[in-house]
A and B are shown apart, each in its own frame.
Chain A
Amino acid sequence: MTDEKFTDDRFKLTDEKAELALDILRQRLNRQLEASLEVCVRCGICAETCHYYVSNPKPEHVPAYRAEQLRKVYRQLSDPVAKAAPGWIGAAELDQEMVDQLMSAAFGTCTMCGRCVLNCPMGVDTRHIIRTARAMLTGIDMTPEGLKATVDIHLESGNNMGVNEEDYVDTLEWMEEELQAEVDDPTVKIPVNKKNARVMYTFNPREVKYFPYLIQAAAKIFNAANEDWTLSTESWDATNYGLFSGDDDAARTIANNLGQAVKNVGAEILVMAECGHGYRSQRWEAENWVGESYPFKVMSFVELMAQYIDEGRLELDPTVNDKRVTYHDPCNQARSGGIVEEPRYILRHTVMDFVEMEPHGIENYCCGGGGGMLSMSEFSKDRVAAGEAKAKQIQATGAEIVVTTCHNCLDQLAEVKRHYKLGVKVQNLSELVAEAIVWPRRAESPAEETE
Chain B
Amino acid sequence: MQIVSVTRAIAIVGLVLGLIGIVLRVQEIRKRPYKQDLSRTRGNVDQALLYAFTLGMAPWEKESTRLHWMAYVRGILFHVGAFVAIGVFLVSPWLAAIPFFLSLVAMLVTAVGAVAGFAGIGMRLAEENIRVLSLPDDYFAVFLTSLFVALAFAVLLWPVALPAFYVVAALLFVYIPFGKIRHCIYFFYSKFFFGQSFGQRGVIGKTEKRYLTEEII
A92 to B198 Cα, complex, angstroms: 32
Of chain A, the residue at the smallest CB distance from B203 is A338
Stretch at the interface among B26-34, B89-97, B109-117: B26-34
On chain B, the residues within 8 Å of A303 by CB distance are 216
Stretch at the interface among A61-69, A158-166, A441-449: A61-69
Is B137 an interface residue, CB under 8 A from the partner? yes
Of chain B, the residue at the smallest CB distance from A46 is B64
A interface, over-half SS: helix
Decide: A49 and B190 in contact? CB cutoff 8 A.
no
On chain A, the residues within 8 Å of B28 by CB distance are 34
Interface range, B side? 35 or more
Decide: B217 and A307 in contact? CB cutoff 8 A.
yes
User: Assuming A42-B130, A42-B138, A288-B37, is B216 touching A123 (CB within 8 A)?
Assistant: no
Residues of A17-53 whose CB lies within 8 A of B: 29-36, 38-49
The interface bits of chain B over 59-100 (1 if a CB of A lies within 8 angstroms of the residue's CB, else 0) are: 000111101100110010000000000000000000000000
The size of the chain A interface, using a CB distance under 8 A, is 69
Decide: B33 and A40 in contact? CB cutoff 8 A.
no
User: Separation in Å of the B118 CB from the closest CB of chain A?
Assistant: 16
A59 to B129 Cα, complex, angstroms: 5
Decide: B135 and A89 in contact? CB cutoff 8 A.
yes
On chain A, the residues within 8 Å of B38 by CB distance are 287-288, 291-293
Decide: B133 and A44 in contact? CB cutoff 8 A.
yes
Of chain A, the residue at the smallest CB distance from B179 is A89
Decide: A40 and B52 in contact? CB cutoff 8 A.
no
Decide: B137 and A90 in contact? CB cutoff 8 A.
yes
A291 to B39 Cα, complex, angstroms: 10
Decide: B137 and A30 in contact? CB cutoff 8 A.
no
Decide: A284 and B183 in contact? CB cutoff 8 A.
no
Is A297 an interface residue, CB under 8 A from the partner? yes
Decide: B135 and A119 in contact? CB cutoff 8 A.
no
User: Separation in Å of the A39 CB from the closest CB of chain B?
Assistant: 4
Of chain B, the residue at the smallest CB distance from A269 is B217
A123 to B57 Cα, complex, angstroms: 10
Decide: A41 and B183 in contact? CB cutoff 8 A.
yes
Is A88 an interface residue, CB under 8 A from the partner? yes
Out of B35, B40, B178, B211, name the residue touching A341 (CB < 8 Å): B211
User: Assuming A45-B68, A338-B201, is B39 touching A283 (CB within 8 A)?
Assistant: yes
Decide: A62 and B190 in contact? CB cutoff 8 A.
no
Decide: A48 and B64 in contact? CB cutoff 8 A.
yes
Is A306 an interface residue, CB under 8 A from the partner? yes
On chain B, the residues within 8 Å of A297 by CB distance are 40, 217
On chain A, the residues within 8 Å of B32 by CB distance are 29-31, 33-34
Q: Which 3 A-B pairs have the closest CB atoms?
A: A338-B202, A123-B194, A119-B64
Q: Could you name 8 residue pairs across A and B whose Cβ atoms are closer than 8 Å?
A: A35-B190, A81-B179, A121-B65, A121-B75, A122-B187, A125-B193, A337-B42, A362-B204
